């Protein structure tokens, strides 16, 4: 409303007139504002001289809102009329304003079509009146831009740009190689010790895999030997061992046409997939941490190799696509590794198990 180049439509509900308080301090309100009284249909029986005076555009001391384009009365759609056409709405509006209560009012100030025509005329006049000021403002800002461009001096030749970019690339490459090799002959900031940070990430990944990488710990030859030392209590020990309970439940649930001393291949596959089900989450979490580490080192190296913030931002945009490709390639390679592990064949190195398999093979 405070913008002198705007046109204001002042909509008044006879029950709510706070808008007049907002208009009092508005500059050029007489020429910039057009008044609208809505809900004339619902308030017809309660309209008083004040409302009629507004539509007559009389200078009323209580409102002080006498506008150049005057006031317009509108009929609102009823909730049951939401689906009617505009022509039907116009007909209902004409019928309302043709009644006795509205006959003494100027008919060109009633109805939405009259309001629309006035708005178009007011807008065109306002644009025509404001255009010289707009053109002057455009010319002023254009002159400022031309002056600033002139202060920048002549354009840097291509050779100089190449030398600058090549210098940044060389500096970046040397620092990146030093940070990744772990020699740290050039970089001295510990934030750039990429090899150290990656080793920490790898140790964290190792600990996560050791702690939650498998559902049940694999038995060692010593643990298997101790399990079978006393054959009289073997079954009691097996019934209490969580891993064997898990295996037994899978075997009984997936019994097929295999012989009694054999285990269905589907059982082996199921057990292995359950055993390594947490690998994918741990691996992708580790990859995310590697990415965060490398991004941090990458940003810091860029700051040192290219102190110019504007140039650095542009260069980072140039290499962003390659960084995203490298990340996608790492994700694809990781998924291939996970698929290979999940779908790999199972072998056992238990001496007891291998001996039984050899004996069964000889018997057959």
DSSP-derived secondary structure letter, 75: P
**CATH tag, 8-134:** 3.40.50.300
* DSSP H stretches of helix in 263-308: 265-275, 279-305
- The span from the CA of 356 to the CA of 348, in Å, is 12
Helix (H, G, I), strand (E, B) or coil at 345: coil
Which helix (H) or strand (E) element contains residue 359? helix 351-363
Among 81-85, 165-169, 292-296, the least confident range: 81-85
Read off the pLDDT band of 15 (50, 70, 90).
low
Strand partners, 10: 35
Averaged pLDDT score across all residues of the chain: 79
Longest CA span, the chain:
118
Strand partners, 36: 11, 72
pLDDT value of residue 230: 59
The per-residue pLDDT for range 192-208, each reduced to its tens digit, is 898 899 999 999 999 99
pLDDT value of residue 227: 61
Q: What are phi and psi of 207, to 5 degrees?
A: -65, -40
Q: What are phi and psi of 262, to 5 degrees?
A: -110, 160
Owner of token pair 């740009």 = 161
278 or 232, higher pLDDT: 278
* Domain extents in the chain: 8-134, 169-212+278-342
DSSP-derived secondary structure letter, 22: H
Length of the chain: 364
């Amino acid at each position: 409303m405070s913008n002198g180049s705007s046109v204001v439509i002042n909509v008044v509900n006879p029950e709510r007139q706070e808008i007049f308080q907002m208009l009092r301090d508005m500059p050029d309100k007489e020429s910039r504002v057009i008044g609208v009284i809505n809900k004339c249909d619902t308030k017809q029986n309660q309209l008083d001289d004040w409302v009629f005076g507004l539509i007559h555009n009389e200078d009323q001391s209580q409102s002080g809102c006498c506008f150049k384009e005057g006031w317009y009365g509108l009929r609102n759609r009823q909730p049951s009329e939401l689906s009617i056409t505009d022509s039907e709405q116009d007909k209902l509006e004409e019928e309302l304003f043709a009644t006795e209560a509205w006959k003494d009012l100027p008919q060109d100030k009633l109805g939405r079509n009259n309001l629309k025509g006035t708005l178009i005329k007011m807008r065109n006049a306002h644009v025509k009146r404001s255009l010289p000021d707009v053109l002057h403002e455009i010319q002023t800002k254009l002159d400022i831009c031309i002056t600033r461009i002139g202060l920048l001096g002549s354009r840097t030749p291509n050779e100089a740009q190449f030398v600058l970019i090549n210098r940044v690339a060389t500096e970046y490459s040397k620092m990146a190689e030093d940070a990744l090799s772990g020699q740290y002959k050039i970089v001295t900031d510990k934030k750039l010790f990429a090899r150290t940070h990656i080793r920490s990430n790898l140790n964290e990944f190792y600990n996560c895999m050791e702690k939650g990488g498998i559902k049940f710990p694999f038995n060692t030859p010593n643990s298997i030997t101790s399990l079978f030392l006393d054959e009289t209590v073997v079954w009691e020990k097996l019934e209490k061992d969580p891993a064997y309970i898990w295996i037994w439940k899978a075997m009984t649930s997936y019994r097929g046409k295999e012989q009694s001393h054999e285990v269905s291949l589907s059982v082996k596959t199921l057990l292995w997939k359950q055993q390594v089900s947490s690998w994918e989450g741990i691996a992708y979490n580790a990859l995310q941490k590697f990415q965060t580490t490398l991004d941090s080192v990458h940003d810091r190296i860029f700051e040192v190799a290219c102190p110019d913030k504007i140039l650095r931002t542009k260069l980072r945009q140039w290499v962003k696509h390659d960084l995203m490709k490298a990340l996608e390639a790492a994700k694809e390679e990781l998924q291939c590794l996970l698929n290979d592990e999940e779908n790999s064949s199972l072998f056992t190195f238990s001496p007891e198990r291998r001996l039984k398999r050899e004996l069964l093979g000889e018997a057959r």
